[in-house]
Every structure is written in C-alpha cells, then in structure tokens.
Structure 1
Amino acid sequence: MKNTIAERIYDFLKDYPPFNLISKATLMEVARNVEIQYFEKDAIIFHQDDVPHEHFYIINQGSVRLYRFVANEKQNLDICDEGDLFGLRPLIMNESYLMGAAANEEVILYGIPLRLFHDIITDYPKVSQFLIASFATNTRDPYSAEHKGKLFANVASIRKSYNSFAEAQSAKYSKNPVTCSSEITIQVACLFMAEAKVNSIIVAENNIPMGIITDKDILTKVGTGAFSILEKVSTIMTSPVITFPEKITVAEAQIAILKHKVSHICITKDGSPQTEIVGVLADHDLNIVQGNNPTFLMREIKYAKDVETLRHIRVQASELTSAYLEQEIPIYFITKVISEINTAITKRIIKLSIAELGEQPPVAYTWLAMGSQGRREQLLITDQDNALVFENVPEDQYPKVKEYFLNLSTKVTEKLNTVGFEYCPANIMASNPKWCISLKEWKKQFKDWINHPTLDKILLSIIFFDFEYIDGDQELYHQMSDSVFRYIADKEIFLRFLTKATLNNAAPLGFFKQFLVEQDGEHKDQFDIKSRAIRPLVDAARIFSLHHNLKINSTIARYEKLMEIEPQNSDFFESCANAFKILLQFRTLQGLANNDSGKFVDINSLSKADRLKLKSCFKPIKNIQESLNNRFNSGLIS
C-alpha cells in the first residue's frame, strides 16, 4: 500500500537543501520516519538550555522565532520560514540548545530523526557541509577553539593548493577522423588527407582500427624513397594503434604520447583496439588544451606584438578562472595564477608603449598596481587602479621627465582599457598627473596622509596602501615602501582614522538577519557583496597589518601572518581568511555568470544553500569590526 503521507513529505523535502543532495531512496527513507508536529502561535518548541531533542526541524508551513535570554533580557535573533532548518545543535555538537524556539504563527514542522542523519552526513559530504554552515550562522562564536574547523569544514575551495588542474581536464579530440581501407595506396590516402586538411588517417576495417598513418610517416618513409607512393598503406602504417576511451584526460594523453613515442592516439568506444573508432587525438590537440594552461598563456603574453592579442589572452584567462572554479580548485591558487597573468599583461603593455613612444625612459621608474590588483586578488576584469613613481631629478628637468611618464602612462592605461580593464571612475591611474610623480613627491604625499589624517583624506588614500610593484626599478618601490612604514610607526591616530572609515561601512545584515540591499538606483534590491562583505575584511586586514608593520598586500596572506603574530587570536583571524576566500569565490562566480564585476548580487535568485553560505561569512565581519573598534578606539574621532 502506498504511503501517501511519506510521498508528500518527500515531495516537499526534495526541493530544499540539504535534502536535494540525497538520493531518492535515502530521502524516501527519511520521509517515512519524519515526525509531523503542529504548534499554535507563540507555543514553545524548545527552551534555551533544554536537553537535545531527537530531531532537528524544517518548517513546512508558517514561521518560527529564535530567541535567547541575555542577563534576563529576551533578545529575538531570527525569524525562520518555510524550508528553513533550525535546532541543529544536537546533530552537530550534541549539546543543549543555546537559544529557544517558538512558533511565530501557526506552524507545521517536520522533525528529522537525528539517528538517520548521522549516517547520511558520513555518506554525503556536501550534506555535512551544508548543515555545518547552517548551524554556524546561528552559532554565537563560530571561530572559537570549541568549534574550530566547523564553520568552513569540507569547503575545499578555501584550502591552499599549488597544483594545476589542467592535466585533469578531459582531452578534446577530433570526432570526425579520416579513415581508409588497408587495400588503398599511399597516394590515395595522401589525397584523402589533403582533401580533409588533416595530418593523419586511420586504417580501419568495419570501423575497427588496424593502424594509422601520419604526415610524419609519409615524410620519413615515402619522402626518403624507402617506400613507393603506389604501395599499400599497410606497408607504412603504425600498428597496433594506441587506443584510449572517450574520457581520456590531458595527463593520460600526454603520458601515452611520451611513453609510446607517437603523435596520435585513437579514441574508441571502450578504449580497446577491438571496438569502433570514435575519434583521434593529436599532440597538436593537447597544445590547444594548453591554451587553458597558465604556462602557455604566459608564453603567449611574452611574445604578443599588439594589444588585441593581449585582449584575447585576457579573455582566455577569464575562461581559465571559470574552469578552475568549476573544477573546485582552491581560490588561493587561482588568485596567484590570475594575478601573475594580469601582471605579465601589464608588463607587456608597458614594453609595447615604450616602443611606441620610440624613446626609452629618461630615468628609472616603477609602475605600481593599487587596489585588488595590488593585493593580487583581481580575478575578474574590473577597473584599473595604478600609479607611477619616477626617480628624483633636478627641478629644471622635472617638467620634461614628468611629461614623458605621463605620455607613457596614458598609452598604458589606454591599452589596459582595450584589454578590458575599465578606466578607474575615481581617476586613480598613472595617467592622472596627481599619481605620476617623483619618489620625493610620493613620500611627501604619504607623509601628509599619515601625519594629518582626515576622513576625506582617508577615503581617498586608503587604496594607495595596497600598492604593489609591477614593472621598472624595484629599488624605487622598496624606498617608497620603507618610507611609508616609517611614517606609520607609532601613528595610532592614523590607524584610528582608518578604522573609523572602515566602520562607517554598513553591516551586511539587518536586525533579523535579512540582507541589507540597495534601496534605490540601478541596483535596487540587490546586495553589494564588494562593499558590505568583502571590503570590511580587506580593510581590517590592512589596518592590522599596518599596525604590525607587515609589508604584505594579499588579504589572505595578511590574515595568515596575523595568525602567527597573535596566536591567541589565530582562530579569529583564520575565520576572517576563510570568510574572505568564500566571498571572493562567490563574487567571482557571480561576475563570470553575469559577465560583470560581480559586485551586486540578486539575493532572490540565490538558492537557500548559497544564502546560508553567504550568511556564514558575515559573523567574522561583525566580530573583526568590533575588534578594530576596541583596539584602535575609533569612537574618539567625531
């Protein structure tokens, strides 16, 4: 007899994470064991400090209010509605509830048995990941030693890795190989190859591979006179053919070609020589695949002769980013790769621009990247932020020297724009006379920002404290960097102003944990992930790094170094680094999907899992801002 109630429960659960990650048979077993519970408005589901129930809950209809008592004062924490999970603590921590739950209105709950889910968590890592993220968003202190590793458990994308994924890609091969009978002559086979414009032909009987002839065989065997062009193809074909199945990876193909000293591999139905031909893979096809390899792209950049070539390469770099993310390559590795590509493109553009001017630089200079490129976090093609510092020169030579570098900078920024990096809306570019100045002038500028800070100056200058060497004289870069850190030493008032500017940035969530979205304008009702989530973590890492005199630009590297310097706060800084990695990955995916900067996110278009994942990153933001305020007393600034 059909269990229609269980089927109805199944139909509901299958549309919500993490139940949508479970096999039908397993989910049906869960549905058969669900306990249906009804509560009237304001009825208590469980109290704060209650012993764990035997279920956690998903809301079928209505809404649930979560609350806790602090110093005998009741605080409402969140409102959960249809499809939301709550009461996860017994599943994750096996502890009493840290908060209470009450029906916000009439509510129907599905109680999910804990005993079933312990096995499911083991068998389905993504279910475990989702539940932990969901639990963490309601955990008071997700980065404490007690919960260490739980908030971001199983999120492979935040772990360091230095291995390329290219060799794990499926190799692309020709699915229309040219074939011939073993009875035809070499001359006829050559005519077939010429007509099809290919460099190989497979000798086959009933579409089963018997051998292969390549242009190299014709050159070395026929061209040398060893065989007549009128002989049968069987006399010069290579046999047996090296065969592989359709899902051969790049690594397998490379190894096979090297091992067997061949230039072509035959792809067959099951990978054996006894089944039908599906395609042919040449070493040339692997070279094309390597177009999605950073080493190949770097080589192409080095020899690029015009900006259009560089633009094409940068498009390939975006495709590489997308492929990396699809393969779940860690974001830390992706930022390193794409940053090197962006730097190489900029270097090449500078060389092309100098050649175009027809005159070498009159004195030493350094091209600097600011902002996300300066931090080596520019995964998407966003706007450019750059500056130029040139060697100090006598006053009478200054105008002419500056004119040269302004001309050079204008050409460079124009070419970067052509490649895809839009002009900076705030005009923070080396083509702006304000940001193309001598070392002496740069030192003077930084000294003024640091010794005489105001909120207006801070908002203008903050991007300049992430400057990074790109091209030119590294000694100039080091001199400038050393002077900046000398000025900052013991200047707590400057760090206080930086903190004030950071804390003026609105929090990502409202009182009831709803996303704070744009209220008007082009991006109305969208969430600004850059300003509300990523920037606070970037700014905080910068302030702590300046405080500790760390000459590190990368946000991730800054937090990792802070973990070493302040071991008592290592879990806290680690949670910030992990949150940043997840947010950066999320923004990049959004940008690639929408072909934009990824800055604004349509919250309503996100899945429940993605909304939870985002929320799980916001607690470290709130807490590091509190830490900044306590450490640097920003409240003293009016």
Structure 2
Amino acid sequence: MSKNDGFAAVGKTAVMQNIQGTMHFLLRYAPFNQMELSHLAQMVEQCRLRFYAAGDPIVGPGDGTIEDVYIVKQGLVLGQRPTQSGDGLETTQEIAPGECFPVAAMVSERATRSHYIAAEDTFCLQLGRAAFVRTYNQSEAFRDFALRGVSSLVGQVHQQVQLQAAETLGAQYSLETRLNILASANPVTCRSGISLRAAVKLMHEHHVGSLVMVDDSDYPIGIFTLRDLRRVIADGSGDLQQPLDELMTPDPIHLPPTATAFDAALTMTRKQIAHICVVEMGRLVGVLSERDLFSLQRVDLVHLARTISAAPHIDSLVELREEIAHLIDNMLAHGANPEQLTHIITQLNDHTVARVIELMIEEHGDPGVPFTWLVFGSEGRREQALLTDQDNGMLFEAGSPEEAEQIRQRLLPLARRINEALDRCGFTLCNGNIMASNPELCLSRQEWLRRFMGIIQNPTRDNLMHSSIFFDLRSVWGPSEGCRQLSEALLQMIEGNSLFQHMMAANALRHPPPIGRFRDFIVARLGADKDTLDLKVEGLMPFVEGVRILALAHGISECNTLERLRQLGARGVLKPQAAAAYEEAYDFIQMTRMQLHQRQKRAGQPLSNRLDPDTLNQLDRRILRESFRQAQRLQTSLGVRYQL
C-alpha cells in the first residue's frame, strides 16, 4: 500500500468515526431517534460542523430565503424577535443541544423571522437545502417533525406514558397472554367492492367495531372501524354507496397468534391504532381491539361512579377513593389524555361530594331549606387532579336579609359536617377557609351578588385573590338555576368594567413561568422544596389566570381553561394558532403533573405538585421548557393587551 493510500485509509476511518459519533449524539434526541438508521446516516454525511463564538449571529431575517438548517451540537442559541415597542430584541427561544432551527422557514421556503445568535461558544451541524429535502422525503419521522415542530414530539410523550401505565398494570392485565386466547376467533370480514352501507349494516348485525377486508386467500388487505365511520361522517367525504375500498385503512397491522398481549399493547401504542389483525400462515384468524386487550380485570368507570353514588356510609367512600388512582393508571393505559383524565377525576369527585351531602342529611336531618352546593377553583373548572383541597360554598334563596340569616344558621351545622366528611374522603380542609362552613360563604343569591359586586368595584389585593377562586364556579348538588343566574350576572358586571379587567390582568401576571434567561429552569434554592418547581402554581396557573380574564372580559361563560381557549380562538380574541399552542402546552404540563402524582401514589409518598426537573428525560424536559415558554408568551400578550 502506498503512502497516499495509507493517508486515504486513515482519513476515511476518521470520517467514519465522525459520522458514527454524530449519529450517536443525534440518537439521544427526537426526532432523530425515531428515524431509520440508514436515513439518519445519509443525513449526517451531508452535515458540516460549524463553530460560532458567543455573540456571533448565525442567521437572521436579512439573510433571505433559508438555505440551511442548523442542529445545535454543543452550546446554546437564542432566537430573538423585535419587542412590541420595536425598540430592541427579546428572546423568544432558547435552543439547546439536539434542537433545530429555523425549520419552519426552510419548509416554507422563506426568510426566518427571528435573529439566531450564539449565547455562548457553540457548535452546530449545518444541513443544506438539498440534503434537507432528501431527508424530508425519505423519513416520515423527520417530515412529521419538520411540519409540526415540537407538537409532533408531544405524541411520543403520550405514547411513552401509555406504555408505562400498561407496564405498571401488566400483572393484573395478564399481558403475557397469547393473542390466540385473547383475540376474537371469528372476525367479521368482507370482500373488495362492498359499499359503505353494506359494511355498516354488517358491523351492526354482528355487533362489532371493526370490519376486515380480505382477499381470496383470507389475507387482510384493509380494515374499517367505527373511528373511520365517525371520520367519514364528520368530513362529509363519503356517501352510503361509496366503495369501502376508498374509505378503509389499507394494509392493517398484524401479529401472529403466538404474540403476547404486551406485544399488542406495544404495537398499538407505537402505531397509535386500536385494532390489530391476528394472521397465521397468511390467513386472518382473529382481530384484537384495544377494548379486548384491556378488558381483563379492568376498573369500570361507570361501575365505580355508581358504587360511589350508592355508598352506605362515609367509610365506604374513603375506601372507594383509593380506586381512583388505579383508574387513572387504567385510563392512561387506554391512551386517555389529561383533559379526559381531569374530567373523569372531577366527575368522580362530584359523585363523592353529592353522596357525602346525602349521607350527612340522612345522619343529621334535613335542614328543611333548599340549597345549592357550589364549588370553586379547579373543581369549578373541572380540572382536578389527585391532589385537591376544598373550595366550596352554599347558595340559597331568601326574601330578606333577616330570612337569609335564619336560613344560614340552619345550614351552617350541616355545612360543617359536610366539610369534615369530605376531609375524611381526601378533600383536605382549605387553609384559607374557602368552605361552606364559613358564614361568609353560606349566602343567599342576593348576598352572593353583593359580594361579587364588592370584589369588582373594590379590586384590592385580597379581592383579586378571591376573584381568582370564586369566579370559576358551578353547582354540584341541589337546584342549579340560582348558580346559572349568578354566573350570568357576574359576566355582565365584568364585561362593562375595564378597570377591573385591567386589575385582573395585572394579578394574572404575578406567577411567571419558572424558566430562566439561559437554559435552566428556575427552581427553589432553599428549604424542603430545594431544586424543585411547582407545576400547578408556576406552570398551570399562568394559563388558568390569563385565559380566565380574557374569557370573562368577552362574555364567555365556560369555566374550563381548555374550553375557554377554544372559544377565544373561535371568536378571534386569540389567534387560532396561538390558542392551539397554549392548549397543547397546558395539556402537557397537566400530564406531567398527573404522572408525578401517580409516581408519588405508588411510592406511598404524600402528593405534591413540586417537581425536580432533573428527574425528567431529555424529551420531557425539552417539551416542558417549551410549554413554560408558551405560558410566558401568553403573559406577554396579556401585558400588551392591557398596557401593563
């Protein structure tokens, strides 16, 4: 071998080592860890390593149509945009190792709207347009990320949560059971050419949620499910005579009968599907649905709700409350999202509260006065997690102040017993005494109206704090008409009071999200909470309070934060894209909080909203930081809107 050949061999080896090292680095981060290795290797071969000293500009609006995408390999990059006043730049992004920019501009073939600057000495992998387009066309995972950004990664997190929950319940669910035992042995099938009408009729006659299309060898070539039917109806994309071939999902996922329930769970989670065909020797022998998979020893929501509503005494309710944590694991395994889970928890809490009231009336006697049990705060918004305290009150009708006082004295002893019984059931007593046993919260409708009017007309610090609790209200027991009238009057009072709206907006900014200017989360430095942040107060409340003021100011009666966001987007108060981003961020923080509670519950620890961000994996940490950034953007827009 010549000397030149030797140098060439050494050089080739060095290049290969560099490619392998870069691939090893990228495989630690999404979406690269979802790409096929051959596609990733081809992309890495086209990357160039660039160095930028602290303060160096990398790319900006003045550079024209984007020709390169950058992946941070080491260091930190800031994305900055002009301030609302136009007198400078503000940081809107902090781009850490494993993250890309400016992808959206590359996809749209335009200039970037942000200035990207190295915050410290930084190395970036530079990917040119031709290589980007090639990777975009080859890799579904990369293409999904390029089109949807961080939103595409949230789906991965939900899949991980579902898998973890399924693994937790593995022993109870017999996930080692083989599919030849679990799957339906006589799947309902059809042949090519069948119409939508005939297919739906066939599903109805056999009481099934899926129909598999097979070829002449009984090999599955497509599947049509009730989910597909809902999509067809919602889209208006099909008529009853349309061939099912045009509406079904082709080439359905299949497993052999020797595969286990866990294999099926893993496949369903990864592919985000609810049905798997069981194929043996090229022939369909069964179909497994998500419902079949998780039917073994599962907690039934309807049954649990009915059992709570019929509990014979408080001790029974205390025992039943322990089932809710198991139910949450079950629902996570079924792929439930945080909004569904909080609605389920709130629904079960409502049943518990109602049953406690009925038991206390049975035990201590009917006060002889109609009353409504009001709930405020997170329960009023239907956003409760496992950790919750009491925020409640009583509403009744009275013709005069004297009559109101008489009724109050009859109701207060019952209210005290109800609050004490709820405490036994896990709804801890409120430290701020926001409870019906407080005479100031056991009021006639007219007294509640005067109280709300006083809060709005005199927005002191205490009154603003009370507005953040009381103005998310609903009834859970007793006549609901009085609560409805109270809510309508409240909206009318706030809509026409710009000063109070301004004060509420200022109050909504008092909890900034816990992210620092450079990369790190802001965590407690001292005491028992050292190195942790509060997911509820610092993560969820910026959304809750910011969205509340916008909803109340625009006459939206809905109390749930996500529903408020959707209506604000639909009415144009918020840009639909911004509303969707806020919704996704809020949803992710809530999921992180619920996972924390589940881990604490399983470990026998007291429930807390405080999280050490260092316990998160790289993907969760990245999305949590971006979610906090969305809360920051909402607060910034609120400050601009109300000139704060």
TM-score, normalised relative to structure 1: 0.70
| 2:327 corresponds to | 320
**2-structure distance, mates of 1:450, 1:296:** 43
| 2:220 corresponds to | none
| 2:566 corresponds to | 560
Partner SS for 2:581: helix
What displacement does 1:331 show? 3.4
What displacement does 1:419 show? 2.3
C-alpha spacing 1:127/1:307, structure 2 compared with 1 (3 Å): farther
C-alpha spacing 1:116/1:354, structure 2 compared with 1 (3 Å): farther
**2-structure distance, mates of 1:419, 1:249:** 41
Partner SS for 2:443: strand
Q: Does 1:37 align with 2:44?
A: no
Partner SS for 1:458: helix
**2-structure distance, mates of 1:490, 1:467:** 20
Partner SS for 2:470: helix
1:474 partner amino acid: S
| 2:161 corresponds to | none
| 1:341 corresponds to | 348
| 1:409 corresponds to | 415
2:532 partner amino acid: Q
**1-structure distance, mates of 2:341, 2:368:** 37
1:576 partner amino acid: Y
Choose 547-556 or 89-98, whichever is displaced more: 89-98
For the Cα contact (< 8 Å) 1:376–1:554, is it kept in 2?
Answer: yes
**2-structure distance, mates of 1:440, 1:75:** 48
Deviations 1:203-244, CA, capped at 9 Å, x for gaps: xxxxxxxxxxxxxxxxxxxxxxxxxxxxxxxxxxxxxxxx96
Deviations 1:76-116, CA, capped at 9 Å, x for gaps: 66665544433434544332233444555554433346555
What displacement does 1:464 show? 0.4
C-alpha spacing 1:301/1:73, structure 2 compared with 1 (3 Å): closer
| 2:363 corresponds to | 356
For the Cα contact (< 8 Å) 1:67–1:74, is it kept in 2?
Answer: yes
**1-structure distance, mates of 2:580, 2:613:** 26
C-alpha spacing 1:64/1:251, structure 2 compared with 1 (3 Å): farther
**2-structure distance, mates of 1:575, 1:430:** 37
1:617 partner amino acid: S
| 1:309 corresponds to | 316
Partner SS for 1:550: coil
2:555 partner amino acid: N
What displacement does 1:368 show? 0.9
1:528 partner amino acid: D
What displacement does 1:373 show? 0.8
Q: Does 1:500 align with 2:506?
A: yes
Matches for 1:536-615 after TM superposition, within 5 Å: 536-566=542-572, 569-595=575-601, 599-615=609-625
What displacement does 1:557 show? 1.6
What displacement does 1:400 show? 5.9
What displacement does 1:469 show? 0.7
Match of 2:339 among 319, 332, 337: 332
2:502 partner amino acid: R
| 1:96 corresponds to | 111
For the Cα contact (< 8 Å) 2:404–2:443, is it kept in 1?
Answer: no
What displacement does 1:547 show? 1.8
- Bigger radius of gyration, 1 or 2? 1
1:36 partner amino acid: L
For the Cα contact (< 8 Å) 1:91–1:118, is it kept in 2?
Answer: no
| 1:60 corresponds to | 73
**1-structure distance, mates of 2:567, 2:307:** 35
Partner SS for 2:385: coil
What displacement does 1:42 show? 5.4
1:35 partner amino acid: R
C-alpha spacing 1:124/1:323, structure 2 compared with 1 (3 Å): farther
What displacement does 1:509 show? 3.2
Matches for 1:447-486 after TM superposition, within 5 Å: 447-486=453-492
**2-structure distance, mates of 1:510, 1:244:** 50
What displacement does 1:54 show? 5.4
**2-structure distance, mates of 1:524, 1:370:** 31
| 2:436 corresponds to | 430
1:406 partner amino acid: L
Deviations 1:22-66, CA, capped at 9 Å, x for gaps: 344444444444333345565554454324565433333444455
**1-structure distance, mates of 2:352, 2:186:** 28
2:622 partner amino acid: L
Choose 104-113 or 317-326, whichever is displaced more: 104-113
1:110 partner amino acid: L
C-alpha spacing 1:508/1:106, structure 2 compared with 1 (3 Å): closer
C-alpha spacing 1:466/1:73, structure 2 compared with 1 (3 Å): closer
Matches for 1:215-254 after TM superposition, within 5 Å: 245-246=180-181, 248=183
Q: Does 1:369 align with 2:375?
A: yes
**2-structure distance, mates of 1:115, 1:303:** 66
Partner SS for 2:63: coil
C-alpha spacing 1:481/1:62, structure 2 compared with 1 (3 Å): closer
**2-structure distance, mates of 1:514, 1:609:** 15
**2-structure distance, mates of 1:52, 1:72:** 25
What displacement does 1:613 show? 1.8
| 1:161 corresponds to | none
| 1:11 corresponds to | 24
| 2:515 corresponds to | 509
Deviations 1:108-150, CA, capped at 9 Å, x for gaps: 43334655555666776665565667x67xxxxxxxxxxxxxx
Matches for 1:78-157 after TM superposition, within 5 Å: 80-103=95-118, 106-112=121-127, 115=130, 155=155
**1-structure distance, mates of 2:70, 2:127:** 6
1:37 partner amino acid: R
What displacement does 1:417 show? 2.2
2:314 partner amino acid: V
What displacement does 1:372 show? 0.7
| 1:421 corresponds to | 427
What displacement does 1:21 show? 2.7
**2-structure distance, mates of 1:384, 1:124:** 50
C-alpha spacing 1:571/1:403, structure 2 compared with 1 (3 Å): same
What displacement does 1:486 show? 4.3
Matches for 1:518-537 after TM superposition, within 5 Å: 518-537=524-543
1:366 partner amino acid: T
Matches for 1:250-269 after TM superposition, within 5 Å: 269=258
Q: What RMSD over aligned residues (CA atoms) do the two structures have, in Å? A: 4.3
1:440 partner amino acid: Q
For the Cα contact (< 8 Å) 2:47–2:126, is it kept in 1?
Answer: yes
1:7 partner amino acid: Q
1:371 partner amino acid: G
What displacement does 1:493 show? 2.2
2:433 partner amino acid: N
For the Cα contact (< 8 Å) 2:80–2:91, is it kept in 1?
Answer: yes
1:109 partner amino acid: C
| 2:306 corresponds to | 299
**1-structure distance, mates of 2:449, 2:81:** 53
**1-structure distance, mates of 2:279, 2:516:** 61
For the Cα contact (< 8 Å) 2:346–2:384, is it kept in 1?
Answer: yes
C-alpha spacing 1:124/1:468, structure 2 compared with 1 (3 Å): farther
Where does the alignment leave 5 or more consecutive residues of structure 2 unmatched? 1-11, 159-164, 189-202, 209-255, 260-277, 282-291
For the Cα contact (< 8 Å) 1:495–1:543, is it kept in 2?
Answer: yes
Choose 109-118 or 386-395, whichever is displaced more: 109-118
What displacement does 1:370 show? 0.7
Partner SS for 2:71: strand
Partner SS for 1:412: helix
For the Cα contact (< 8 Å) 1:518–1:528, is it kept in 2?
Answer: no
**2-structure distance, mates of 1:418, 1:14:** 49
1:601 partner amino acid: L
| 1:198 corresponds to | none
Choose 468-477 or 508-517, whichever is displaced more: 508-517
**1-structure distance, mates of 2:626, 2:94:** 16
Partner SS for 1:617: helix
C-alpha spacing 1:630/1:613, structure 2 compared with 1 (3 Å): same
C-alpha spacing 1:127/1:311, structure 2 compared with 1 (3 Å): farther
For these two proteins, the number of residue pairs brought into alignment is 527
2:615 partner amino acid: S
Choose 6-15 or 45-54, whichever is displaced more: 45-54
